[in-house]
A = this chain, B = another copy of it.
Amino acid sequence: MILPFEVKLAAGASLVENTLRDLLDARPLEGELYRPERLLKAMRHGVLNGGKRLRPFLVLETAALFDASDDTAALRVAAALECVHCYSLVHDDLPAMDDDDLRRGQPTVHRAFDEAAAILAGDSLLTYAFDIVSAPETPLPAEARLALVNRLARASGIGGMAGGQALDLAAEGSRLSEEEILRLQAMKTGALIRFACEAGGVVGGAQPADIERLGEFGAAIGLAFQLADDLLDLTSSSETMGKATGKDAAAGKATLAGLHGVDWTRRQLNGLVAQAEDILEPFGERAETLRQAARFVADRQN
């Protein structure tokens, strides 16, 4: 039976959420002294929020290309990645950053708790991600865990996601070149999506050439993800998005979709999906779900 992509995505999200729920248990781990209840609740609020879990899904599906004997490692790495993604949302929503009150129709962490709790919950989620990947409970060789820690840090730090958010804040009201917009987006959203796809390869024990290939797939769908996001910001209502829309234009932020218009953006999206499918060619039939993922990313309506 061929399952619709949304059903597969939801099944993956459910597995990842169970892993996250276990990891955010009240019981301290060895070396931890105590888990303060309110901080833990703020972390859970930031993470267990009904997200689509696209990045973790990409970890699971790219790992599945390589016959892993069990999926504990992939699930833990996927959960760690989601902690990093969610930390970035918690901090980006803060008044000093994007100042958002709602996230997926729910109050953001600083609205549900307070700003200090949101800052510390974000910090703790980021820190926890590196704990999860490095811990012996992640059943991978030491070299693989170490490579994942290092790649995750580079994808999310100054030269990746955090740097991209800094560029994005600086871009308000300024005129970026097309090249600068592409770099900003490759950092802000692309780096973590690319990491998701490479991470599955590392978890699966893939050869360097295959990890590189998965990274290129990740870069293509990362760019598609951002273009689809820009398009939605241009065309959709806040009701279907569960968050404020039209904010890019209001903030004077240049986007490729805003620069070139809706038709150009749709053509670009089709081109990126075709490119992503080409990249997956050597993996044959097994990569079918990843092909669906590329189309899903380009076509998404929220």
User: Hey, which chain B residues are within 8 Å of A165, CB to CB?
Assistant: 120
Cβ of B191 and Cβ of A33 under 8 Å apart? yes
Q: Answer yes or no: A29 CB below 8 A from chain B CBs.
A: yes
Interface centre among A28, A97, A153 (most CB of B within 10 A): A153
The contact of A143 among B30, B116, B142, by CB within 8 Å, is B142
Q: Please give me the residue from chain B that is nearest to A198 by CB atom.
A: B31
The contact of A163 among B35, B114, B153, B187, by CB within 8 Å, is B35
Cβ of A94 and Cβ of B119 under 8 Å apart? yes
Interface residues of A in 114-139 (CB under 8 A from B): 114-117, 119-120, 122-124, 126-128, 130-131, 134-135
Cβ of A124 and Cβ of B163 under 8 Å apart? yes
User: Hey, which chain B residues are within 8 Å of A28, CB to CB?
Assistant: 159
Cβ of A126 and Cβ of B123 under 8 Å apart? yes
CB distance from A232 to the nearest CB of B (A): 24
The contact of A33 among B142, B146, B187, by CB within 8 Å, is B187
User: Hey, which chain B residues are within 8 Å of A35, CB to CB?
Assistant: 158-159, 163
Stretch at the interface among A166-174, A248-256, A259-267, A287-295: A166-174
The contact of A36 among B123, B126, B170, by CB within 8 Å, is B170
User: Hey, which chain B residues are within 8 Å of A54, CB to CB?
Assistant: none
User: Hey, which chain B residues are within 8 Å of A119, CB to CB?
Assistant: 91, 94, 96-97, 119
The contact of A169 among B31, B116, B153, B186, by CB within 8 Å, is B116
Q: Answer yes or no: A157 CB below 8 A from chain B CBs.
A: yes
Q: Answer yes or no: A103 CB below 8 A from chain B CBs.
A: no
Nearest 9 Cβ contacts at the A-B interface: A32-B159, A96-B115, A131-B153, A127-B157, A31-B154, A142-B142, A39-B166, A134-B150, A134-B149
**Could you give 14 example pairs across A and B, Cβ below 8 Å?**
A32-B154, A34-B159, A35-B159, A39-B158, A39-B166, A91-B123, A96-B114, A96-B115, A123-B157, A124-B157, A127-B162, A131-B157, A142-B143, A142-B146
